[in-house]
Amino acid sequence: MDKDFTPTIIGFLCNWCSYTGADLAGTARMHIPPSIRIIRVMCSGRIDPLFVLRTYLKGADGVMMMGCHPGDCHYQKGNYSTRRRYVMLDTILKTLGLDEKRIGLWWVSASEAPRYEKVTNEFTESIKKMGPNPVFKEIFI
């Protein structure tokens, strides 16, 4: 394992919960790993599986999808759709053996800055253990 390896992680964060939670973690000066790059979406239901697949195939080492806890969605039911889509994506990747562990879904509410700190750090660690995304080895895909 390369000790200096800093993974590139793309996070799709819902505007109302997770993004605000991340913001709170920032203002509270918590330790957020530098590996995560955040893309704000209005609802986690906006995260098209194609966004995630494209991110993965273009070489991101990990993809984090984050949204409000089920039942707390700003738009009532958006995150239930996210959950189904995530399960679908996870099943596809698992079936094809395309390390599905590089893609994950977490519920983080606006007040859960410590949880945001915890999950980003944990995920970064687990990606570090897995090493760089193998699509870099398979250049001509």
**Which parts of this chain interact with another protein (CB under 8 A)?**
49-50, 53-54, 57-59, 67, 69-71, 77, 80-81, 83-89, 91-92, 94-99, 105-107, 134-141
- Distance of closest approach, residue 29 Cβ to another protein, in angstroms: 25
Six-digit token string for 126 = 């687990």
Q: How far is the CB of 94 from another protein (least distance, A)?
A: 7
Q: In the complex with another protein, which residue's Cβ is closer, 29 or 58?
A: 58
Cα four-point dihedral sign 29, 30, 35, 38: negative
Residue with smaller CB distance to another protein, 29 or 95? 95
> In the bound complex, what is the minimum distance in angstroms from residue 112's beta carbon to another protein?
12
Q: Which is nearer to another protein, 66 or 113 (CB)?
A: 66
In whole angstroms, what is the distance from residue 90 CA to residue 96 CA? Answer: 10
With a CB cutoff of 8 Å and minimum separation 6, the contacts of 88 are: 49
> The dihedral of CA 95, 96, 101, 102: what is its sign?
negative
Q: How far is the CB of 109 from another protein (least distance, A)?
A: 11
| Shorter beta-carbon distance to another protein: residue 27 or 47 | 47
